[in-house]
Structure 1
Amino acid sequence: SVTQTLITSQYGTVTGVKTGNVAQINVAWKSANTASWDSGNFGIIPEGWRPVADVRGTWSGRDGGSQREFLLKTDGTFTYSNRGGSQSGDFFATTMTYIVA
């Protein structure tokens, strides 16, 4: 298996573990957009770590706030979007597992 930092920015990191054609990515993000239905961009996942099909994940937040949807596209674009209500700008973390292209 291979472990690698895939994205690093002032807002956080995305790391990955890959075995064969299965990857797990771990997001540790320091802050987020707070507006209802707003979105943010983690960055671009490098080739060799991109999914065979678009992958969606969710983060349920806490106490009904800070619910987010994650989208990792086949071109490596990795984003999140807030899902209504009050949104915390604080740290959040999530994990996604998918098949690598």
Structure 2
Amino acid sequence: MKYEELSIFLTNIILKKNIVMDDIAKLSEISPAFLSDLKKGKKSCKKETWEIILKYLRLTKEEETEGWLAWSYSKIDKNTKDFIKHLQEENSRLKKVLEYVEFKNKQ
């Protein structure tokens, strides 16, 4: 699957919000076949197309941010993607260390 992040994002949102892809296709005037390819991770899309799709998914701000992150990942090479994921994991680990240090300082 070439565009795994887009596929995972769309699949999760569609299931979570009980969205019918044909409805999104009609509202957005994007072909059902193209939306299906996005959902399957076979294709990515232009920024303008992604904006239209996100508009009709009834997203929270957090979900919209996740959507843009998934779209961004579809535009970068694997090494960069892996490096970003590594940085995110390291950031998460360092946040836990910081929380522990702050907790110890309060005692």
TM range (shorter): under 0.3
- Which of the pair is proportionally richer in helix? 2
TM-score by length of 1: 0.28
TM-score by length of 2: 0.27
- When Rg is computed on C-alpha atoms for both structures, the one with the higher figure is 2
